């Protein structure tokens, strides 16, 4: 009898912990107080370039979330969390559902830029300034690229302001 109670309690605990994680990822709203941090573009640029210096060249690893390897959405997730104090979802598809869609010509530091890079495959980066954005590239690792490069122009999907 005690064994069944222990199993039942363990089962309930696992379900509770798993559901908390799911609820976190489904909560796609950003609190107004958090988004105000993005209004100071000079500070945002400084924080983003600081993040880039810490992560420059870290190799791309699908599903990676540390300096041994990181993917594009993981880099965005960690950058927003560590430098801007904001929790964004972990995946590109959920990140693409956030914020307000903006015109590519209206980008400012901290805006997210999305690309369709293949069949069912998307890529995300963070706009810096002067037509440049930082991201985790499959070939170069964490790098800064030009938004007006032919590859990015041809694969551009949308831009979002958090």
Query: Which positions are catalytic?
Result: 72, 123, 135
Question: Nearest-CA neighbor of 100 among 22, 18, 159, 20?
Answer: 159
Residues 6+ positions from 89 with CB-CB distance below 8 Å: 25, 28, 77, 95, 98
State both tokens at 4.
Answer: 């069944």
The SS3 of residue 62 is coil
State both tokens at 39.
Answer: 């209004």
Residues 66-88: b if buried by 16+ CB within 10 A, e if exposed: eeebbbbbbbbbbbbeebbebeb
User: DSSP secondary structure string, 113-124?
Assistant: EEEEEETTEEEE
Chain Cα centroid distance, residue 42: 20
Q: Give the sign of the dihedral formed by CA 145, CA 91, CA 68, CA 80.
A: positive
């Amino acid at each position: 009898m005690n064994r069944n109670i222990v199993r039942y309690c363990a089962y309930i605990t696992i379900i509770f912990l798993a559901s908390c994680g799911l609820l976190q990822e489904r909560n796609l709203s950003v609190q107004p107080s958090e988004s105000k941090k993005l209004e100071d573009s000079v500070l945002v640029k400084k924080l983003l370039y600081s993040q880039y210096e810490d992560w420059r060249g870290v190799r791309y690893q699908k599903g990676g979330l540390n300096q041994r390897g990181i993917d594009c959405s993981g880099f965005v997730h960690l950058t927003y969390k560590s430098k801007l104090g904001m929790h964004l979802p972990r995946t590109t598809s959920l990140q693409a559902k956030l914020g307000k869609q903006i015109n590519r010509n209206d980008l400012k530091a901290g805006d997210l830029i999305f690309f369709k890079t293949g069949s069912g495959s998307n890529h995300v980066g963070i706009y810096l300034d002067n037509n440049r954005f930082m991201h985790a590239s499959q070939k170069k690792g964490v790098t800064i690229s030009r938004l007006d490069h032919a590859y990015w122009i041809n694969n551009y999907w949308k831009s979002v302001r958090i």
